[in-house]
Amino acid sequence: MSKLFSVALISTGGTILKTYDEHEGILSNGVPVLDTILNSIQLDGIAVEHFELMNKDSLHMTEEDHVQIAEEVEMRSHYFDGIVLIHGTDTLQITGERIIGRNPSLKVPCVLTGAMRPWVMRNTDALQNLVESFAVVQLLQAGVYVAMQNKVLQFPGVTKNKEQLCFEKCHT
């Protein structure tokens, strides 16, 4: 029997986990939906352990939050074969840069993912992005990446294209 690939799933909130709050009439990070999402996908060959670090819209993240996430990735990287980090797309690039800045010689792949539209919406990219992240974290070399919408980009130099609603690599 072969050893399962161990993945630390760190959740920080973001659009992917937003639900509709009927009382306020807004989408917000309130009701936990990650277990429902995970129960809807087949994860043969990997062992996932979930760590909820925070549940914030990334626009409300502070510099301290980005550093806390980078520290969590560093700590979990010593115990897992790979890391999938669920994050809001608005400041995902800041966190990716903090992770690579604090951990330039990270020993495992760390894949950041999120969604442009919440999981609860019919036209969401959430499930696709999460499934792709679990697949690619097993194939990538050590480093920090974003995996969304059938693309994998390596940090540093990843940015969000707000017009096209995708991530792209800066060429400097």
- Taking only the tens of pLDDT, the chain with its 172 residues reads 578 999 999 999 766 554 545 555 544 445 456 677 777 788 889 999 999 998 888 888 999 999 999 999 999 999 999 999 999 888 999 999 999 999 888 999 999 998 876 655 566 778 889 999 999 999 999 999 999 988 999 999 888 877 777 688 876 5
Cα 37-119-85 angle, rounded to 5 deg: 65
| 115 falls within a domain | yes
Residues 126 and 130: their CA atoms lie apart, in Å, by 6
Which residue segment(s) compose the domain that 129 sits in?
14-151
Number of domains in the chain: 1
For residue 16, what pLDDT is reported? 59
Residue 22 forms part of a structural domain: yes
169 assigned to some structural domain: no
Report if residue 60 sits inside a domain.
yes
Judge whether 116 lies within some domain. yes
pTM of the full structure: 0.85
| 3 within a domain of the structure (yes/no) | no
85 occurs within a structural domain:
yes
Per-residue CA distances from 120 to 19, 51, 166 (Å) = 6, 21, 19
Specify the 3-state DSSP secondary structure of 60: helix
Helix (H) or strand (E) holding 37: helix 34-39
Give whole-number Cα distances, 84 to 9, 10, 20, 25, 113, in Å: 5, 6, 25, 31, 7
CATH number at residue 74: 3.40.50.1170
Give the number of other CB atoms < 10 A from CB of residue 87.
29
